Amino acid sequence: MGLNNLQYVFIVNANIHRKRKKAFEKAIANLPYDVKSKTVVAYTEYENHAETLAVTYSERFGSECIIFACGGDGTVHEVANALAFRTSPMGIIALGTCNDFARSVYPPEFVKNPLLILKCLENPNIQPIDLLRIDSYDALGNHLPIWSHYSLNIASMGLDTLVQAKAKALVAKHPKSMFLRSNAYTIAAISCLLSGWRYKMDFSIELESGEIVERKNMKYSLISICNGRYYGGGFCPAPSASIEDGVLDVCLVDDMSKGKALSQLLKYKKGRHIGQPGFTTYRSTSGILSSLDSNFQLQGNYDGEDFFGHKIRYEIVPRAIRFASFS
């Protein structure tokens, strides 16, 4: 089947804001008949349902469809894990709160006005892109499948994970406020900077060159492992990251005082921290991050979803998923 005969499957997070949901439904209803006749719209009904739906439609249509994650980064995360190493390409309709991965792969107008993609459905550019793999282990070295997944975008640990938890709580408390949805991460970041933090770990990472870099009993504020460029509502830890180069951009932020961290926050958000004191960047293909205490798990997030482990292993998986971009 050629590109002009592709099926279009839209997996929609049923919890997206009602205004965005109505706009999406109206746009689908107004598609030309020949396009609309090739579309399927499926709404999620429970946690991880987007992943289940993506598997179902991928097995039904194979390479003869594009499966769109219609929601935020959590929906993107589920669909990506479903379609890793499958023939069905995925796309994104950025209808969520932050839509950070969409910023890395689509022109700004498709992030600001995501329904514009519906006018370009018959002209996709389908290419393989990289995935980030995270595997978690307990204190005895047992693999933890529940916290081991693929990520299209960014995995991180430390202060930003604390920020994310507070941002989620803020949105959950005020679900109808578009202002809080749009600014939750910035508000949470300021709150966390004022309250303070303390993180330690060991790490061993493999660089692009094959060199191994190790640090023991290291104090840090956060570490971000980046396939994409943006997370946390537009923060840019890796302004040069590429989803097609087979390498991860790792940003390590040293332990900082609250005052210094507050002054560096804007630079970090704008991607202007590279080369600044307190920030170390690596081009890495894999690594291991370890807790210093058998009673204390590291806590992180990938694509905004939480994970835990006494030991965390990451690696780049080149060309692991087919992706549909539009212009």
Q: What torsion do the CA atoms of 188, 284, 254, 267 make, to the nearest 10 degrees?
A: -50
What is the pLDDT at residue 159? Answer: 81
Q: What is the pLDDT of residues 286-321, one digit of tens each?
A: 999 999 988 889 999 999 889 999 999 999 999 999
Question: Is residue 50 scored above 50 in pLDDT?
Answer: yes
249, 179 contact by CB (below 8 A): no
| CATH 2.60.200.40 residue window(s) in the chain | 132-159+198-320
Token pair listed for 23: 């706009």
Share of the chain above pLDDT 70, in %: 97
- pLDDT confidence tier of residue 136, bands split at 50, 70 and 90: very high
Cα 188 from Cα 160, distance rounded (Å): 9
**pLDDT at residue 1, as a whole number:** 42
Question: What is the model's pLDDT at position 327?
Answer: 82
Instruction: Give the model's pLDDT for residue 207.
Output: 98
Whole-number Cα distances in Å, 237 to 134, 152, 174, 223, 233:
18, 15, 28, 9, 12
CB hemisphere CA count around 206 (13 angstroms): 10
Token pair in block for residue 260: 């210094």
Indicate the CATH number for domain 132-159+198-320: 2.60.200.40
Residue among 313, 323, 291 at smallest CA distance from 105: 323
pLDDT at 57 over 90: yes
Over the chain, what is the mean pLDDT? 91
Q: Is 173 helix (H, G, I), strand (E, B) or coil?
A: helix
At residue 59 the predicted structure's pLDDT band, cuts being 50, 70 and 90, is: very high
At residue 184, the pLDDT reads: 78
Q: Where in the chain is the domain with CATH 3.40.50.10330?
A: 3-123
Residues near 265 by beta carbon (within 8 Å), at least 6 away in sequence: 189, 190, 193
> Which pLDDT score, from 0 to 100, does residue 162 have?
78
- Residue 265 has a CB neighbour count (10 Å cut-off) of 17
pLDDT for 3:
59
Q: At what angle do helices 178-195 and 258-270 cross, to 10 degrees?
A: 140
Model pLDDT for residues 220-266, shown as the tens digit of each residue: 988 999 999 999 888 899 999 999 999 999 999 998 877 777 778 78
3-123 is a CATH 3.40.50.10330 domain: yes
Task: Report whether pLDDT(134) > 60.
Answer: yes
